[in-house]
Structure 1
């Protein structure tokens, strides 16, 4: 771990700085492929910036777990406060995992998105999951209306924020690729700048999504140990790769393995892989 020059300022960036981040974020989607990792707090955001990543994305699950809540168990106000915190913590563009817009109807989604834009984020995603186990995916018509409302709110605020349309079928046991493609095309037509179908894994599925919405960019979730690497994923036409809550889960995995040894065996060898405190102090101190 080396010293870094990340921002330690916790004040909100200026309007000019926010605009520059948003423009830089859009440019990242124009060509090539980049990894956009998902921090869950200020420390993880600054660490990822120090490691050289070009942009960050929030994780609803990672943020919720850090507050002792399940995914989707955090209020809109808490999420907005978290986004402001991330935006102020680093100099990088931040994409918001904004779940389904924290509202029951399209008008409410528009209001939520307006508030999210005010936090300074460079992008935000709206998903079509309903939160209802009996009917986990909203109808296509409702989903398009909600995404269109998000698009309208972004445009009313100047149009700089990048809108991501998410089709959640594969995360909710509906492995219907054709319906997913239909939804992604509709979300693109409704104004999504980037399309995302979390849960697809195979090269065939990825290629089908990329081709369905071309030339608009595609985000791919890789939240598991994958046989595909960055170069191979880029060759499939993907523009950006996120990891969702996987980094948070990796951190919780290390914590649980060490803590369980303490609790169950009275042993301390689970601490052997802990990061050295001095290296962390040097990093966060900007030494």
Structure 2
């Protein structure tokens, strides 16, 4: 069984309250920490990788992002999915080739650009082309940005989800969807649903998100930011 097959299988037939929890490594060292802790797969956050490379979120050159992903996949034996933002303007075939060359088994693809939602049908067409180019070699996680850059209407999110699933997306990711709408989203979306968890203790735990309908739980750049805050505290202590 390939790593892509293993990664896809991890999303299937999950019991309610037992979501697939995917920490987000931002470099090879953090990837090894998560793999050695026992996580069966990882999912890079574009913002976390950007910060590790000295870029603002959304400003990482494609070559540097793919190189960072390659360093992470070389460092661990578990499957790694890569957040490649909106695809960097690459044609679907080239995007798939570069993801596979970097060793990724999946990808996140956003449906907004510069804070503006893309036309959902055009995005669905793009996802369909990615799926055709990748066949089963990549697990496609289609991010839905209605709760970030749209009107926050769950119905609009479900409409986009339906188009993306029909186009071949393996999973949809309504990022920053409030916990109280998760049961509605779960009921209205076919297939796995990715929800992001907070690390400040203010939001539901991964298990609680699973009970509400999440198939998969990620943390965006939260782990990288938490690690940076801890390092800042250590650095401040060195000056005392």
Please report the TM-score for the alignment, with normalisation by the length of structure 1: 0.77
For residues 54 and 32 of structure 2, the distance between their equivalents in structure 1, rounded to whole angstroms, comes to 22
Identify the range of structure 1 (47-56 vs 173-182) with the bigger mean alpha-carbon deviation: 173-182
Q: Secondary structure of 1:30's match? A: coil
| Correspondence for 2:123 | 143
Structure with max Cα Rg: 1
Of the three residues 203, 208, 229, the one matched with 1:232 is: 208
Question: 1:173 deviation in Å?
Answer: 5.7
Instruction: State the 4+ residue runs in structure 1 displaced beyond 6 angstroms.
Output: none
Q: Secondary structure of 1:125's match? A: strand
Write the mapping of 1:59-208 to structure 2, written as runs, cut at 5 A.
59-103=45-89, 108-131=91-114, 133=115, 136-155=116-135, 159-172=136-149, 174-203=151-180, 205-208=181-184
Deviations 1:24-76 (A, max 9, x none): 11111112222100010011000001111111001111111111110111111
Deviations 1:75-109 (A, max 9, x none): 111111111111111011001111111107xxx24
Deviations 1:123-160 (A, max 9, x none): 111110112x4xx11111221122122112112xxx23
For residues 114 and 165 of structure 1, the distance between their equivalents in structure 2, rounded to whole angstroms, comes to 18
Q: Secondary structure of 1:99's match? A: coil
Question: 1:120 deviation in Å?
Answer: 2.1
Q: Is the 8 A contact 2:24 2:44 kept in 1?
A: yes
Unaligned segments of structure 2, at least 5 residues: none
For residues 221 and 261 of structure 1, the distance between their equivalents in structure 2, rounded to whole angstroms, comes to 32
| Correspondence for 1:28 | 10
Question: 1:261 deviation in Å?
Answer: 6.0
Q: Secondary structure of 1:195's match? A: strand
Deviations 1:215-269 (A, max 9, x none): x11111113434422332222232110011000000111233344566xxx42xx
Unaligned segments of structure 1, at least 5 residues: 1-18, 268-287
For residues 151 and 236 of structure 2, the distance between their equivalents in structure 1, rounded to whole angstroms, comes to 35
| Correspondence for 1:8 | none
The alignment covers a number of residue pairs equal to 235
For residues 223 and 188 of structure 1, the distance between their equivalents in structure 2, rounded to whole angstroms, comes to 26
Please report the TM-score for the alignment, with normalisation by the length of structure 2: 0.91
